[in-house]
Every structure is written in C-alpha cells, then in structure tokens.
C-alpha cells in the first residue's frame, strides 16, 4: 500500500496562529510549575497507589548473594532480563512493586486502554516470540500478555520478586556488591544492579484546593477501580456507573481513551479540561494474514527504523511511509513537498522552517476536524488544540469527539482558572457553579521530570564513599553512554538521560539493555568484581552530549505547559533527558563499534 500525503489547509496564517499559541500557553502557565501537583505520599499513597489488581501475598525476607538485581519489570526491566539471559547470565532477579511483569501496562488497565503507537513497532520481541499483534493499535491487555509471553518463554519468572519495592541501595566496598534493602525486609547483595525504573511509574494528582475534603469516591486511572465501576480489564462494561455522576480530571492520552467508555456508561460525565489534546481519527484494522505471510526476517527492526524516520528527521527520498498515521503525517507531507521541489540542498534551519509550516497545517487540519464531529459550537471551540504538534502527546481515537454529543456528557473548560478551581465535600466548583458528583477519576498523569528520588521511591542510592546518586546528578546527568556513571561501580541505567531516544520507547530501552548485558556478561566471564566508568570517559561523553545537542529550548518554551516542558518552568528540564543529538541510529553505531572493539574502553575493570 502506498501511503499518500494528507490534505491540509494551504492558507494558514502562521504569524496569527503563533500569537494565538502564545496566548493559549500564557493562559495556562502557573508560577508554581511542578509544585502545583500533589505527591502520592502517606494517606494519598494508601488511597491512590495500592495495587487493586492482585493482592500482595506474605513471604519471608530473603537474604542472598546475586549476580544482577534489575530494579523494575516494565519494558526496560524485562528487556534487561531478556538480554542478560541471551548473554549467558542466569543469576538475576527483576524486582518490582507491581504483582507481575508489565510496568505501566500492569498498572494501567483503564477502560479503552490501547497502545496508540503502531503495535508492530511498539511491542518488543515479536519475531523472537513468534507473535504478531492482532491489530494496528492493540488493547492494553494484549501488551500485558506479551510481557507474560516473554517472561514465560525465556524463563524470567523464576527470579522475579513482585510486590517488592527497593528502599535503599548502598555500595559495599568490602563485599564489592550492592546491598539492597526492600519493603519486604530483604537483604540482597547484588554484584550488579540495573536501574530500570521507567518514566511513567509514579502517578500524580493535581493540587486542587479542597481535594482532601471530598467525601465521594475517587481513584487514579493508573489504578482503575473496577470494583466500583463494574467491568474488567478485558471487558470494560462499566455497568455499576449507570446511576453515577462522574468527573474526569484531565484530557491527555489516557483520558482520550477513557472518555468514550465513561460517556457510554455513566448517568452524567463531566470532563474537566485544562488543555485539549490533538485527536486524529484512528483506523484500527485487524492484522491482515496475507501481509503477515510477506514478512521477512528482521522486519520489525526495519519497521521501527521507518517509524523513527517518520517522526524525526523525515523520510529519505523514495522511502515509503509504512506506518501511515498521524505520527508520521508531517514527515510524509514534507517529503512529498521536497520531492516536488526537486529535493534542493538546504540548511538545517531551512529544513526546520519547512517542517514548522507543515506542523501548522496539520494542526489546523486537526482543529477543523473537530467542527465536523462536535455539534455544540462552544464545546467544539474549547476542544481545539492551539500549540505545535509535539507540544503535547498527539492522540487518535475512533470516538472521542463524538462522545461530547451525548446528552449525559459535558465538557467543563477549566483553563480560565488554570486547573480545577476547587472541590467541595460533594463535588467540584467551576466558574462559580458547584457540580455534585459521586466519583472523581484522575487522569492526571505521572511524575516525569520531578526529582529522581521521589519517582524511584528509593530513599538512598549511595555509591563509593557514601556518595548519593541524587547529589551526584543534582546539577545534571553525568554518564558514559547514558548507562553508567563514575563513583557508582557496577550500577547501570536504562533511562532517559544521555543515551538516545527511539520513537518507539521500548526499542530505545532495548538498545541500552543490550549494551548493559554485554558489559555485565563480559565482566562476569572475566571474574571481575567491579566495573566502573572512569572520570575521563564520563567527562568526554558529557562533552560529546553537549557538543551534539539539538537546542529545542525555543520550541519547548512556546509550548503550553505539560510534563514535556517541565510545566513551562523557567528551569527547563526536557522529559527525554539530554539525548545524543545525532540520533538513535548514529548512537547505535557508537555502541556497536564500542562493543566490537571488545576492550571495555572507558571502564575500569577490577578482578
Ligand atoms: P498527561 O500528563 O498527559 O495528562 C494529564 C492531564 O491532567 C492533562 O490533561 C492535564 O492538563 C490534566 N491536569 C493536570 N492538572 C490539572 C488540574 N489542576 N486541573 C485540570 N486538569 C489537570 O497524563 P496521561 O495519563 O494522559 O498520559 C501520560 C502519558 O502516558 C502520555 O503522554 C503517554 O506517553 C502515555 N500514554 C500512552 C498511551 C499509549 O497509547 N501508548 C495511552 C495513554 C497514555 P494540562 O495538559 O493542562 O496540564
């Protein structure tokens, strides 16, 4: 199938829109930035963070020596386990607060949950497990099932410790091991640790005045309360909501998937929106068996690379768009235009300008689309997103906008008060009107750019000489290749820091997992007790990162606030860390060549 460019409006007044984008940003900027959110601590953690899916069963504390402790069992954790096993390392454990593998796909079981990325790219190890997704955007449980398939097929359950949170992590110089203290009283002495804690693991709540006094029911979408709503992860028939008035806070990627379900089942739904998402159509065809038959070995990696091009630097001349959806639309349209122009040589600045023009056109197309779907003019206007395409996570849906035509669904625009104004014991207040509700559902997202200590939930991470990792990175990341840092022997990171980013996040995690597994396996084979990156190697990599950095400050500053731009705070912190500026595949080459040299360059290896 040839994927054609889309029809976008030609006559777009970019300078007027730029001004409108600025106004819409300013209307939402809050001086308190990140601190507008509440942390899930103490009472809040008990109420909003417990596992509603699987009860934690009692077990005796463990005291043991281990080769590798992997902190986390989401995509980064399971890829680390898989890669270690491939590299011949067998004595390791995944340790996770959740009750199973799955990470965000364990915790997020809200109705309608689907991966809104092309599943053939997103879901790792398809060829290795012999699995092909059932459709382009698969349901959340299908992804969770792939975790279980990987864990079963490659024997990863044996070592896994679930419902366990690592609380303290200290390097013991005498033992030359990391000592892990956990919420279960374990004392684990691991030769190596892999930090695979994930970027979306800590739910956050908006700091709405009166929240604590609300006497109705409430929960966060990352802990969906099916006991209250009725239905199940695999069958979200929310039949217990038929007599309930429900408020949903947030209109991000999660809410866009939840709204059609809440709209269908509640007596009354209020959708409390501060910033609208951009929502394109979602065509979700089942997988064509004839297409599956055509797939050649390595097809998934090739498709991932095509997707990555389609969301970053644009398609090369003649390169087809295999993904053919809203993620790749700007690149597809731009490629067609460049072909028409005869692909003249141009500076990066000229390329960026052309890209920006396509961005304005696509966003205008998405805004106009709303008018064709939403009957009420005021609601349609409030749903229009005024910002550049990647300011907020783009979404797609089969029926999000149409849900607002239902008589029981009302959009409440809370932008004028920069968020929900306040809550009472029985409901919420917006623009002077109190709306009684039985339940508030928070689709309010996760801590992404807050301090690591809080996100990881690990009070102490101490390397050599008691140096705290949180202090060590207090003024920014310092790593070699994003995976290791000086002063913290035998500790490795799968993390958005100073590596590279793939548009399909798990593919990026796999790159790091592969590299880390190589280092650990080689060290164990050599009988090494410590592996530590040298100060010199770290300094050189930090210089490389800074020298190649793509400056996206202006883009981020012009965006409406969100976790993408650290809530628009003056001290910008990019949610993807400080990625290597020449891109994922150039970075992959660096890592590959490093491994091929087979000399552990930059690492001090002691036996
Ligand atoms: P987000 O952080 O994207 O959205 C949080 C929402 O809560 C925003 O709409 C935000 O508004 C709103 N909010 C926050 N504070 C207030 C307040 N005081 N008053 C009113 N509204 C408020 O979280 P999501 O859970 O939606 O998504 C998080 C990430 O999870 C996504 O970006 C994506 O990476 C991932 N995801 C992936 C999916 C997939 O298909 N692969 C599906 C769902 C999520 P505002 O924008 O104004 O801050």
Average pLDDT for 568-585? 84
**Distance from Cα 209 to the centre of ligand 1, integer Å:** 20
Each residue of 210-260: pLDDT tens digit?
Answer: 999 999 999 999 999 999 999 999 999 999 999 999 999 999 999 999 999
Q: Are 124 and 130 in contact (CB under 8 A)?
A: no
562 ligand 1 Cβ < 6 A = yes
425 vs 10: which has the higher pLDDT: 425
Please state the atom number of ligand 1 nearest to the C-alpha of residue 561: 48
User: Which of 135, 207, 274 has most ligand 1 atoms within 8 Å of CB, for mutation?
Assistant: 274
With b meaning 16 or more CB within 10 Å and e meaning fewer, what string describes 362-382? bbbbbbebbeebbeeeebbeb
pLDDT above 90: residue 51: yes
**Distance from Cα 254 to the centre of ligand 1, integer Å:** 6
Kindly state the tokens that stand for 46: 């008990």
Q: Environment class of residue 91 by beta-carbon count within 10 Å: exposed (0-12), middle (13-18) or buried (19+)? A: middle
Kindly state the tokens that stand for 254: 């999660």
251 ligand 1 Cβ < 6 A = yes
With b meaning 16 or more CB within 10 Å and e meaning fewer, what string describes 481-510? bbbbbbbbbbbbbbbbbbbbbbbbbbbbbb
pLDDT above 80: residue 157: yes
Q: Which of 75-89, 406-420, 441-455 has the lowest mean pLDDT?
A: 441-455
**Distance from Cα 249 to the centre of ligand 1, integer Å:** 9
Confidence (pLDDT) at 448: 87
Q: Are 189 and 178 in contact (CB under 8 A)?
A: yes
396 ligand 1 Cβ < 6 A = no
pLDDT above 90: residue 566: no
Using alpha carbons only, give the angle 47, 53, 59 rounded to the nearest 5 degrees: 90
Chain center to CA of 213: 31
Using CA positions, which residue lies closest to atom 12 of ligand 1? Answer: 250
Please state the atom number of ligand 1 nearest to the C-alpha of residue 564: 32
Kindly state the tokens that stand for 376: 């009420």
Q: What are phi and psi of 495, to 5 degrees?
A: -170, 155
445 ligand 1 Cβ < 6 A = yes
- Which three-class secondary structure state does DSSP give residue 212? helix
Using CA positions, which residue lies closest to atom 2 of ligand 1? Answer: 445
Confidence (pLDDT) at 10: 87
Confidence (pLDDT) at 584: 95
* Cα gap 494→515, rounded to integer Å: 10
Grade residue 124 by pLDDT with cuts at 50, 70 and 90: very high
**Distance from Cα 251 to the centre of ligand 1, integer Å:** 6
Confidence (pLDDT) at 551: 87
* Cα gap 303→323, rounded to integer Å: 8
Using CA positions, which residue lies closest to atom 14 of ligand 1? Answer: 444
Q: Environment class of residue 477 by beta-carbon count within 10 Å: exposed (0-12), middle (13-18) or buried (19+)? A: buried
**Distance from Cα 549 to the centre of ligand 1, integer Å:** 27
Average pLDDT for 60-72? 97
Nearest to 216 by CA among 197, 240, 244, 183: 244
545 ligand 1 Cβ < 6 A = no
430 ligand 1 Cβ < 6 A = no
**Greatest Cα-to-Cα distance within the chain, rounded to the nearest angstrom:** 71
% the chain with pLDDT above 90? 86
Average pLDDT for 499-510? 94
Kindly state the tokens that stand for 348: 């990066």
Average pLDDT for 407-418? 96
pLDDT above 90: residue 567: no
109 ligand 1 Cβ < 6 A = no
437 ligand 1 Cβ < 6 A = no
**Read out DSSP for 357-408?**
HHHHHHHHHHHHHHHHH-SSHHHHHHT---S-GGGS--EEESSHHHHTTSTT
Each residue of 249-306: pLDDT tens digit?
Answer: 999 999 999 999 999 999 999 999 999 999 999 999 999 999 999 999 999 999 999 9
272 ligand 1 Cβ < 6 A = yes
236 ligand 1 Cβ < 6 A = no
247 ligand 1 Cβ < 6 A = no
User: Which of 254, 275, 496 has most ligand 1 atoms within 8 Å of CB, for mutation?
Assistant: 254
**Distance from Cα 351 to the centre of ligand 1, integer Å:** 31
User: Which of 115, 123, 252 has most ligand 1 atoms within 8 Å of CB, for mutation?
Assistant: 252
**Distance from Cα 511 to the centre of ligand 1, integer Å:** 27
Kindly state the tokens that stand for 66: 């281990």
pTM for this predicted structure: 0.96
Please state the atom number of ligand 1 nearest to the C-alpha of residue 115: 40
Grade residue 34 by pLDDT with cuts at 50, 70 and 90: confident
Give the residues across from 161 on adjacent strands: 95
200 ligand 1 Cβ < 6 A = yes
Grade residue 42 by pLDDT with cuts at 50, 70 and 90: low
User: What residues contact 379, with CB distance under 8 A and at least 6 apart?
Assistant: 404, 411
563 ligand 1 Cβ < 6 A = yes
**Distance from Cα 413 to the centre of ligand 1, integer Å:** 15
Average pLDDT for 154-167? 95
577 vs 65: which has the higher pLDDT: 65
254 ligand 1 Cβ < 6 A = yes
577 ligand 1 Cβ < 6 A = no
Chain mean pLDDT for the chain: 95
pLDDT above 80: residue 44: no
Using CA positions, which residue lies closest to atom 21 of ligand 1? Answer: 250
**Distance from Cα 448 to the centre of ligand 1, integer Å:** 11
């Amino acid at each position: 199938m040839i994927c054609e460019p889309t029809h976008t409006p030609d006559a777009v007044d970019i300078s007027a829109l730029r001004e409108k984008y600025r106004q819409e940003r300013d209307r939402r900027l809050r001086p308190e930035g990140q601190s507008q959110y509440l942390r899930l601590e103490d009472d809040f953690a008990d109420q909003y963070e417990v596992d509603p899916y699987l009860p934690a069963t009692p077990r005796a504390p463990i005291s043991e020596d281990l080769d590798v402790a992997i902190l986390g069992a989401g995509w980064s954790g399971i890829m680390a386990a898989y890669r270690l096993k491939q590299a011949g390392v067998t004595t390791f454990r995944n340790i996770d607060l959740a009750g199973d593998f799955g990470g965000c796909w364990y915790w997020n079981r809200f109705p309608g949950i689907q991966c809104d990325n092309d599943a053939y790219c997103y879901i790792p190890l398809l060829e290795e497990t012999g699995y092909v997704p059932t459709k382009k955007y698969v349901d959340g449980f299908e992804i969770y099932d792939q975790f279980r398939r990987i864990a079963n097929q490659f024997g990863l359950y044996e070592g896994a410790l679930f419902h366990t949170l690592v609380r303290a992590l200290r390097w013991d110089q005498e033992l030359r091991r990391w000592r892990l203290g956990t919420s279960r009283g374990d004392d684990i002495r691991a030769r190596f640790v892999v930090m695979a804690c994930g970027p979306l693991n800590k739910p956050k709540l908006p700091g709405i005045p009166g929240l604590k006094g609300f006497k109705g029911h409430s929960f966060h979408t990352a802990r969906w309360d099916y006991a209250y709503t009725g239905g199940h992860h695999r069958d979200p028939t929310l039949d217990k909501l038929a007599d309930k008035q429900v408020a949903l806070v947030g209109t991000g990627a999660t809410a866009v998937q939840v709204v059609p379900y809440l709209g269908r089942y509640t007596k009354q739904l209020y959708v409390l929106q501060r910033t609208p998402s951009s929502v394109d159509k979602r065509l979700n065809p089942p997988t064509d068996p004839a297409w599956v038959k055509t797939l050649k070995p390595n097809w998934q990696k090739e498709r991932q690379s095509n997707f990555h091009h389609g969301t970053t630097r644009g398609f090369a001349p003649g390169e087809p768009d295999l993904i053919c959806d809203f993620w790749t639309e700007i690149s597809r349209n731009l490629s067609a235009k460049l072909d028409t122009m005869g692909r003249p040589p141009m500076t990066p600045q000229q390329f960026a300008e052309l890209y920006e023009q396509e961005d304005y056109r696509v966003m205008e197309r998405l805004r106009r689309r709303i008018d064709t779907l939403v009957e009420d003019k005021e609601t349609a206007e409030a749903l229009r997103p005024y910002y550049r395409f990647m300011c907020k996570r783009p979404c797609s849906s089969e029926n999000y906008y149409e849900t607002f035509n239902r008589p029981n669904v009302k959009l409440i625009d809370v932008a004028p008060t920069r968020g929900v104004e306040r809550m009472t014991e029985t409901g919420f207040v917006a623009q002077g009107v109190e709306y009684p509700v039985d339940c508030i559902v928070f689709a309010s997202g996760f801590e992404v750019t807050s301090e690591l200590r809080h996100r990881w939930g690990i009070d102490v991470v101490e390397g050599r000489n008691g140096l705290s990792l949180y202090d060590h990175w207090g003024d920014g990341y310092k790593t070699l290749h994003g995976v290791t840092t000086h002063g913290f022997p035998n500790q490795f990171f799968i993390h958005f820091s100073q590596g590279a980013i793939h548009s399909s996040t798990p593919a990026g995690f796999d790159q790091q997992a592969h590299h880390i597994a190589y280092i650990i396996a080689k060290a164990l084979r050599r009988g090494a007790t410590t592996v530590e990156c040298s100060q010199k190697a770290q300094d050189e990599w930090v210089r490389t990162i800074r020298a190649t950095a793509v400056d996206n400050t202006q883009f981020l500053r012009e965006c409406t606030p969100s976790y993408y731009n650290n809530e628009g705070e003056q001290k910008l912190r990019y949610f993807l860390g400080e990625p290597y500026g020449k891109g994922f595949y150039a970075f992959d080459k660096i890592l590959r060549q490093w491994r091929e040299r087979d000399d552990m360059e930059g690492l001090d290896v002691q036996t």
